[in-house]
């Protein structure tokens, strides 16, 4: 990527989809090498929280189209980063604000994009684009200042992200310890967000480990609980990870809590199957029903794959999406494990589902008390 000033006159650009649709716009952010950037085009419906979305590692391999028309109007600041840098392939917006206005702002969104070599395109008819992706499904795209023929060819040649291990691109290279709470939690980093680490860190000392960490090593740390994070891509491309999660479940002594990709991987380890949604769930306004109470939660979501209904045999469904019936939560009947498809850490909001972190705490309490009772009974015997 080449750099340029965020105040420079913008070059004309095009967005081409693999099915031949073309959209006009102007180049923003870092200019892609050769005038072409590629990725899988998806749309997100949040009204705010664009910085959290852009820095969510779950978007590795994808180009994010924002349905809200005005993006960048309150600028950016380091507190809102969900990762050290963005992993998305680019962004698509209708109108990028040139002059941010907010007391928390430390710079403009375009300056942020340039700093981290993220290309983008503005001036796109995102209403038309969203309707197109909703009707045709998420697909490969190419955008930039190159000619239409080159962009169409690049979009059609772009490799799909199905069955690709994108987690290895975003996971930590070494163990990291965060938090000061009294519990001990080991968190698998499949693309973990800062908001998740903050939530866990309030209750536990959190050891964040690479995605490839063996289950035996995790159990050897004697944690009170294990956390399976969010992350990018297709769970079926992570067979080795699924095998290690299966070991944790079969051990049955340590509570396991999964979110998003962690939910899909846990379900797969329990014998379920997953499938790709037509255009995924990306936004902060998805209604989810908690089946045990009938309560409806408005949730933040970001995923392209889902657990197939009917494939869960040893677990119960705890939550469902009221828009399309997708499984949004599960709890195993034989081991202290549960997971949800959506994002209770709410980065960005809403906060309706943050109680799930308290449920994880309660499960660690209950399992720990049970283990102590069994140890005392064995000692007396």
Q: Is 3 helix (H, G, I), strand (E, B) or coil?
A: coil
Question: What is the model's pLDDT at position 370?
Answer: 58
Same domain, 324 and 216: yes
Question: What is the model's pLDDT at position 160?
Answer: 87
Same domain, 93 and 239: no
Please report where in the chains the tokens 């660690």 appear, as a residue: 364
Please report where in the chains the tokens 């499984």 appear, as a residue: 327
**Closest to 230 (Cα-Cα) out of 178, 283, 187, 290:** 187
**Of 139, 157, 175, which closes a domain?**
157
Q: What total number of domains does the chain contain?
A: 2
Same domain, 34 and 143: yes
**Token digits for 53?**
């979305």
Burial 64-77 (b: 16+ CB within 10 A, else e): bbbbbeebbbbbbb
pTM (two decimals):
0.93
Question: What is the model's pLDDT at position 1?
Answer: 64
**Token digits for 234?**
């297709």
DSSP 8-class letter at 318: E
Q: Look at residue 244 and tell me if it is in a domain.
A: yes
Question: What is the model's pLDDT at position 381?
Answer: 40
Question: What is the model's pLDDT at position 377?
Answer: 54
Q: Look at residue 379 and tell me if it is in a domain.
A: no
Same domain, 299 and 324: yes
Residue 130's CB is within 10 A of a number of other CB atoms, namely 18
Catalytic residue among 111, 260, 286, 328: 260
CATH number at residue 333: 3.40.50.880
Q: Specify whether 260 is catalytic.
A: yes
Burial 154-175 (b: 16+ CB within 10 A, else e): bbeebeebeebbbbbebbbeee
DSSP 8-class letter at 31: B
Strand partners, 142: 16, 38
Q: Look at residue 327 and tell me if it is in a domain.
A: yes
Same domain, 141 and 263: no
Same domain, 269 and 294: yes
Which are the contacts of 5, defined by CB distance < 8 A and separation ≥ 6?
A: none
Same domain, 144 and 213: no
Same domain, 16 and 87: yes
Which residue segment(s) compose the domain that 334 sits in? 167-374
CATH number at residue 133: 3.50.30.20
Q: Specify whether 26 is catalytic.
A: no
Same domain, 174 and 299: yes
Q: Specify whether 281 is catalytic.
A: no
Q: Look at residue 6 and tell me if it is in a domain.
A: no
Question: What is the model's pLDDT at position 378?
Answer: 62
Rounded distance, CA 265 to CA 189, Å? 13
Q: Look at residue 77 and tell me if it is in a domain.
A: yes
Give mean pLDDT in consecutive 10-residue pieces for the chain, a chain of 381 residues: 60 97 98 93 96 97 97 97 97 96 97 98 98 97 97 95 93 96 96 96 96 98 97 96 97 96 98 96 95 96 95 93 97 95 89 91 84 55 40
Q: Look at residue 119 and tell me if it is in a domain.
A: yes
Residue 359's CB is within 10 A of a number of other CB atoms, namely 15
- In the sheet that holds 256-259, the strands lie side by side as 176-178, 204-210, 183-189, 225-228, 256-259, 337-340, 327-332, 315-321, 274-290, 296-307
Same domain, 210 and 112: no
**Closest to 328 (Cα-Cα) out of 315, 342, 338, 316:** 342
Q: Look at residue 191 and tell me if it is in a domain.
A: yes
**Of 157, 176, 198, which closes a domain?**
157
Q: Look at residue 3 and tell me if it is in a domain.
A: no
Which are the contacts of 73, defined by CB distance < 8 A and separation ≥ 6?
A: 97, 100, 101, 102
Is residue 273 exposed (0-12), middle (13-18) or buried (19+ Cβ within 10 Å)?
Answer: middle
Same domain, 224 and 321: yes
**Of 90, 122, 157, which closes a domain?**
157
Parallel/antiparallel/unpaired status of strands 62-66 and 90-92: parallel
Same domain, 152 and 171: no
């Amino acid at each position: 990527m080449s750099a340029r000033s965020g105040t420079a006159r913008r070059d004309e650009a095009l967005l081409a989809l693999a099915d031949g649709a073309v959209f006009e716009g102007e180049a923003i952010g870092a200019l892609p090498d050769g005038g072409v950037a590629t990725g899988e085009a998806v749309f997100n419906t949040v009204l705010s929280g664009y910085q959290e979305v852009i820095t969510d590692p779950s978007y590795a391999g994808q180009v994010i189209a924002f349905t809200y028309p005005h993006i960048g109007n309150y600028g950016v600041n380091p507190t809102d980063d969900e990762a050290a840098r963005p992993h998305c392939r680019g962004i698509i917006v209708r109108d990028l604000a040139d002059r941010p206005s907010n007391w928390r702002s430390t710079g403009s969104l375009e300056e942020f994009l340039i700093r981290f070599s993220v290309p983008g395109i503005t001036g796109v008819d995102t209403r038309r684009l969203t309707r197109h992706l909703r009707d045709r499904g998420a697909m490969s795209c190419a955008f930039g200042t190159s000619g239409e023929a080159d962009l169409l060819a690049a979009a059609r040649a772009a490799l799909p992200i199905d069955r690709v291990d994108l987690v290895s691109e975003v996971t930590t290279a070494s163990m990291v310890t965060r938090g000061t709470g009294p519990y001990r939690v080991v968190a698998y980093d499949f693309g973990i967000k800062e908001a998740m680490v903050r939530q866990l860190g309030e209750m536990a000392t959190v050891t964040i480990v690479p995605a490839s960490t063996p289950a035996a090593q995790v159990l050897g740390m004697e944690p009170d609980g294990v956390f399976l994070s969010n992350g990018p891509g297709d769970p079926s491309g992570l067979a080795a990870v699924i095998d290690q999660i299966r070991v944790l479940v079969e051990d049955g002594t340590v509570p396991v809590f999964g979110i998003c990709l962690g939910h899909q991987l846990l379900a797969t380890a329990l014998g379920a199957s997953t499938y790709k949604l037509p255009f995924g769930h990306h936004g902060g306004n998805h209604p989810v029903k908690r089946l045990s109470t009938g309560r409806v939660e408005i949730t933040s979501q970001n995923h392209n794959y889902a657990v197939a209904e009917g494939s869960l045999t040893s677990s119960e469904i705890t939550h469902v999406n009221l828009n399309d019936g997708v499984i949004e939560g599960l709890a195993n009947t034989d081991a202290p494990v549960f997971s949800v498809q959506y994002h209770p850490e709410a980065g960005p909001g809403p906060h309706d589902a943050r109680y799930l972190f308290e449920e994880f705490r309660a499960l660690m309490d209950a399992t720990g008390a049970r283990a102590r009772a069994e140890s005392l009974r064995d000692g007396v015997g």
